[in-house]
Amino acid sequence: MERIIKVLNEINPTVNWEKETDLIGNRILDSLRIVQLVGALNDEFDIEITPMDVVPENFRTAEDIARLVSRLEDE
């Protein structure tokens, strides 16, 4: 989780990532940020996020993102 927040802060340090409940709906993560984020996550955790994984359910909160990352790490 901490590593996730670190990555997120690199994308945009002004957001309180742990508190936000709808990153997609509030448009904190638009498609550009998603691409940046996916790149950073891929590098940080050595995983491969695919276009299929980019659904709102996986990116709504920091916890969702952490869950996605840990799932992909297991594969």
Q: Which residues bind another protein (CB under 8 A)?
A: 10-11, 30-32, 34-36, 38-40, 42-43, 49-52, 54
d(CA 65, CA 58): 6
Q: Dihedral angle at the C-alpha atoms of 59, 60, 66, 70, nearest 10 degrees?
A: -60
Shortest spacing between CB 36 and another protein, in angstroms = 4
Residue 18 vs 43, nearer CB to another protein: 43
CB of 58 to another protein, least distance (A): 12
Q: Which two tokens stand for residue 57?
A: 């359910």
